[in-house]
Amino acid sequence: MVDVEYLKNFTKYDGRYRGTSPPAAIDYFWEVMRELSEEQKMKYLQWVNGRAKLPNNMSDISYKHTITWMGGGDGVLPQAHVCYFQIDLPEYTTKEILKQRLVLAIEYCGEIDTDNSASGVRMTEYINTADDEIVLRQQVSQGAEEDYDY
């Protein structure tokens, strides 16, 4: 079981999220984390840390869980840096948007640090179309682009 409060106690904040009054996106993030299914929480940990479970003693890990401010707003997905147990989190305007983007990232972006994978495909864009259909634009390393509807 993923203890969200345990994770929160070992989280640091960088960029605009650092300070005594962080933007609402931080509150949204923790609310969403509490609402996720156990499977989704484990996928989040796998996505951001490379492991699906938290250690019993957080001092056993090299880096604290870090949430770093990222530009781009509502139109981009968060990014994970597995080697540093870090998520770059855009300052989403609503909890619903944050949840949608976070779940999309943890479900469909299994690549480390959004670098090229062995297949040569990486996430480059997130587009919310007029009819609310989610489109992932992926760039193939040979330069071609393909759209995938989910």
CB proximity list for 133: less than 8 A, separation 6 or greater: 149
Token look-up 């990486």 returns 122
CA distances from 25 to 17, 19, 61 (A): 9, 13, 26
- What residues are labeled active site? 83
d(CA 61, CA 150): 35
CA distance 78 to 92: 10
Backbone φ, ψ for residue 89 (5° rounding): -115, 115
Burial 86-120 (b: 16+ CB within 10 A, else e): bbbbbbbeebebbbbbbbbbbeebebeebeeeeee
